[in-house]
Structure 1
Amino acid sequence: MRGAEGRKKAVGSGAGSAAGAGRSGAGLDARLVVRRGAFRLDVELRVMPGEVVALLGPNGAGKTTALRALAGLEPLADGYLRLDGAALERTPPESRPVGVVFQDYLLFPHLTALDNVAFGPRCQGASKAEARALAAEWLGRMGLAEHAGAKPRRLSGGQAQRVALARALATSPRLLLLDEPLAALDARTRLDVRAQLRRHLADFEAVAVLVTHDPLDAMVLADRLVVIEDGHVVQEGTPGDIARHPRTDYIAHLVGLNLYKGVADRHTVRLDAGPAITTTEDLTGPVFVTFPPSAVTLYGERPTGVSARNLWRCAVAGMETHGDQIRADLSGELPLAADLTTVAAAELGLHTGAEVWAAVKATQTHAYPA
């Protein structure tokens, strides 16, 4: 089995590996069109074996609907679904080579951990002894050998998650679907289980698709991110590329950046709504401009002798604790978010409605083609 680094190198860039799935017939090649009332999902997914793709998006965007369509739990209104070259559109859920780990795990409460994991192989025709031997092997891999006889109510959240993953993997699926697999865990358990899940996904040689609302889960677990908004893909790429080049407000908020769109004329970007921003990049035409909240310096009065080319008059629309700092949401000439220490906020006398001046150095902005 391959380690995480080997798998990452084999996958390569998101665009190249996705195209390869369609050409070779290996992996997942799908266009999922689902209609539910006024909502319409239309998403294309191409994923190579050994690749982990995370579906990200706001609530109601359609990411869970996409996962259910892949599992056969949601009928397609149009499109196609091919896995390793085989069409699955008309294949019932129980006959698909698909393993699913649900958000609430859905372990059978009356069965032991061992028999929960053995359930899938038994359904595939394995004898009771064969299924139990395979289940014991998987529980051992998950570090749960001593809990084989425990029923779900006696397992911790982290243990239950690993039993659910073992149950999904014991059937040797060609497609592994994970629906918010860490959402039910507390913060401390989540850290440990996330690391374990990453190791297991690194060794998984088929296709894995993960749905999550947590950007850290996505960044740690996935090779490629597919961002869905209003039923459509708005951006996809490696975690690093998405973090550096967000293209929607949702993604910018997710990765903690201020994002604006405008037209560049060399080092000046005229925003679609708002003032101009000076950048260090020399560009022409439609662009995005970003800068982190930590790049913003606030002043109680208009500063003199400040080198920042970007200076705007704003008002505090709200404040909240953000880690060990205060995040101020500002309205005015340029709506933006600014991070500052509690001491700095106190010295400025910040409160909702307070007027401030916000400055950002051109060297702390980043512009790229839209």
Structure 2
Amino acid sequence: MTDDDRRMAKDDRFMTGREKKASSPTSAPAPAPEGQEGLDAHLVVERDAFRLDVSLAAAPGDVLALLGPNGAGKTTALRALAGLVPLTGGHLRLDGAELDRTPTESRPVGVVFQDYLLFPHLSALDNVAFGPRCLGASRAGARAEAAAWLARMGLSEYASVKPRRLSGGQAQRVALARALATRPRLLLLDEPLAALDARTRLDVRARLRSHLAEFEAVAVLVTHDPLDAMVLADHLVVVEDGQVVQRGTPADIARRPRTDYLAHLVGLNLYRGTAEGHTVRLDGGAVATTTEDLRGPVFVAFPPSAVTLHQERPGGSGARNLWRCEVAGLETHGDRIRVALTGGLPLAADLTTIAAAELDLRPGAAVWAAVKAARTHAYPA
């Protein structure tokens, strides 16, 4: 390995290369003690006025996604897992070993950074071969290993190509191959699709899902994109202001969001209140009727598509929920018009363009918002 290679590894904080000799670059790590496989972390990091306090656990083969808004602490958590940020407290165990006591360069961790950090002076093949070379493989052995990984990524024909001539999707796959070539026990992906355009994301997301499904150790994905999290991860940990606010499967979180941030991500109107049977007195004074029979603190959620708007108070018993509202704004939302409402109950409604035009909706216009009880979903808070 040249001096330039070593310098690049240090400057770019490339986490897949470890300056530690090994007998074989392709041999699997020693098995963990029984019952201790996987990730067990309590990450406490204090920096200025910000405090991260997040617990994570995942078994080998799991893909865990950290989801949250900008500034929530997701990237700080990933950097703590990688050893780039020291823990203030807590612990970090991987396969039973105290990882927070292991030097950063010796951790069995692979990282795919948001901007990939490919070495610009190396070909795709040599970028991937860099990790095995750091583990003690011969030049020929490392390049053979790298060629195999590029083949798995469908990039064999780009082996001699340097990063500047790769597309965004190709660069992402080279970065993933480079991270996997050292057989890490923990794979960290920092917004791996953020640098791609919308069309490329579809293809790369599908490919990444396939590769992660074959990964036998723990993978942690950091993202603010709910679709990436829902498609790629087995379990979600939602972080806001440095704290875990919800955790569960993608289906659980999509159906039962517990914060306004999550409700917005999954496209739901969300309210908190107190249930007495089928009646829920919402915080703020409005009342909602649901099909669930509950008692005590609850959340009530329903999609914008469940809301119908009327210029006059609708008669009949079709909709059990009626609120007098005012139009606060309108915007195009896919093939629909998203109407923001204030007044009796702040909410969002999705209408067809024709329906919006017939109602002659304008900011400040008074309307009645109606939602059938069967379209609501109530669950304990």
The two structures have a TM-score, normalised by structure 1, of: 0.93
Asked if structure 1 preserves the Cα contact closer than 8 Å seen for 2:273 and 2:281, the reply is: yes
CA distance in 2, matches of 1:119, 1:318: 54
CA distance in 2, matches of 1:175, 1:100: 9
SS of corresponding position for 1:319: strand
The equivalent position to 1:321 in structure 2, one of 312, 316, 332, is 332
Q: Which residue identity does 2:207 align to in structure 1?
A: Q
SS of corresponding position for 2:101: coil
Q: Which runs of 5 or more structure 1 residues have no equivalent in the other structure?
A: 1-20
Q: Deviations over 1:170-202 (max 9, x none)?
A: 000000000000011111111001000000000
Q: Aligned residue for 1:143?
A: 154
SS of corresponding position for 2:345: coil
| CA drift at 1:307 | 1.9
Q: Aligned residue for 1:93?
A: 104
Q: Which residue identity does 1:127 align to in structure 2?
A: S
| CA drift at 1:306 | 5.0
Asked if structure 1 preserves the Cα contact closer than 8 Å seen for 2:33 and 2:95, the reply is: no
SS of corresponding position for 2:258: coil
Q: Aligned residue for 1:359?
A: 370
| CA drift at 1:274 | 2.7
The 5 A counterparts of 1:310-349 are 310-349=321-360
Q: Aligned residue for 2:260?
A: 249
Point out 4+ residue stretches in structure 1 off by more than 6 angstroms.
Answer: none
The 5 A counterparts of 1:96-107 are 96-107=107-118
Q: Aligned residue for 1:226?
A: 237
The 5 A counterparts of 1:1-370 are 24-305=35-316, 307-370=318-381
| CA drift at 1:281 | 0.6
Q: Which residue identity does 1:309 align to in structure 2?
A: R
Asked if structure 2 preserves the Cα contact closer than 8 Å seen for 1:327 and 1:339, the reply is: yes
CA distance in 2, matches of 1:127, 1:30: 35
SS of corresponding position for 1:89: helix
Q: Deviations over 1:180-227 (max 9, x none)?
A: 000111111110010000000000000000011111111110000000
- Taking only the aligned residue pairs, the percentage that are identical comes to 79
| CA drift at 1:22 | 12
CA distance in 1, matches of 2:232, 2:38: 18
Q: Which residue identity does 1:126 align to in structure 2?
A: A
CA distance in 2, matches of 1:299, 1:336: 15
Q: Which runs of 5 or more structure 2 residues have no equivalent in the other structure?
A: 1-31
Asked if structure 2 preserves the Cα contact closer than 8 Å seen for 1:252 and 1:258, the reply is: yes
| CA drift at 1:319 | 1.5
CA distance in 2, matches of 1:306, 1:155: 61
Asked if structure 2 preserves the Cα contact closer than 8 Å seen for 1:22 and 1:46, the reply is: no
The two structures have a TM-score, normalised by structure 2, of: 0.90
CA distance in 2, matches of 1:28, 1:152: 32
Q: Which residue identity does 2:107 align to in structure 1?
A: R
CA distance in 2, matches of 1:34, 1:351: 48
CA distance in 2, matches of 1:95, 1:364: 53
| CA drift at 1:94 | 1.4
Asked if structure 2 preserves the Cα contact closer than 8 Å seen for 1:33 and 1:42, the reply is: yes
Q: Deviations over 1:65-122 (max 9, x none)?
A: 1000000011111010000000011322211100000110010000000000001111
Q: Deviations over 1:112-136 (max 9, x none)?
A: 0000000111111111111100000
Q: Aligned residue for 2:11?
A: none
CA distance in 1, matches of 2:227, 2:36: 31
CA distance in 1, matches of 2:317, 2:300: 21
CA distance in 1, matches of 2:316, 2:193: 50
| CA drift at 1:23 | 8.9
How large is the Cα RMSD of the aligned pairs? 1.3
User: How many residues were matched structurally?
Assistant: 350
CA distance in 1, matches of 2:127, 2:350: 48
SS of corresponding position for 1:253: helix
